Structure 1
Amino acid sequence: MIETLKDRVNRDAGLVRRGRFLTTSLLLEVGSTAWLISIYEGRIVAVTKGPFVMPSSAFVLRAPAEEWEKFWRRRPPPGSNDLMALIKRRVLKAEGDLQVFMANLRYFKEALGKLREGVAA
């Protein structure tokens, strides 16, 4: 499913425009599986599945697979509907250069929301 993130985000012109000043990479950990996501000027240029020995990324978003599954439901339950709600519940760990994450929070919320069930691919 995460493999489709690149196409889903890049097809959304508004989201790409929102991230036009964003060039970074992030490590997304879904349970024990890691994904390195590279972004250039708001477009996702690569989604690479781990394992990695020493991945280079600006920051990491890390949560158990069950929590990501709840987040990616068509209608997530309260507390699982938003990245900040996951952080508040202490099930999502954000580590690294959080300035990049917080300055582009809406972009990341919408981009990862593209993986929700029923969202057009």
Structure 2
Amino acid sequence: MKSACTITHVEIPAPDLTLASAFYAAVFDWKIEVVIENSYSFFMIGDTQTGGGLDASLKPAAQGVGTQLVINVEDIDQYLHKIVNAGGAVTQEKTQIGDGGHGYFASFQDPNGNHLQIHCDN
């Protein structure tokens, strides 16, 4: 049975498309395909059918405003280091979710000003 109401595509604001493409490729190893030069790129996550777009016409929301995109990673500390090295900024260090059992998260800002989170089980 096909899943109904599944999220199939996410768009990340990318006023500087070149910067966004380089950042997400370097940090998360996403495959980037430029569709419209300086305007829109697709990204694919590994060998999955999951991905979305980097859209130069969209503007980032302020911290604490709007939907939060959470990216699952194996090691938060390693990815926070990669984020900073690629030009992002850590906005919340690794934090346990609740009393345990739900893993950990950390928040960051990408070079275009988007606020996102990463998550891991341990």
TM-score (ref. length: structure 2): 0.28
TM-score (ref. length: structure 1): 0.28
Between structure 1 and structure 2, the one with the greater Rg is: 2
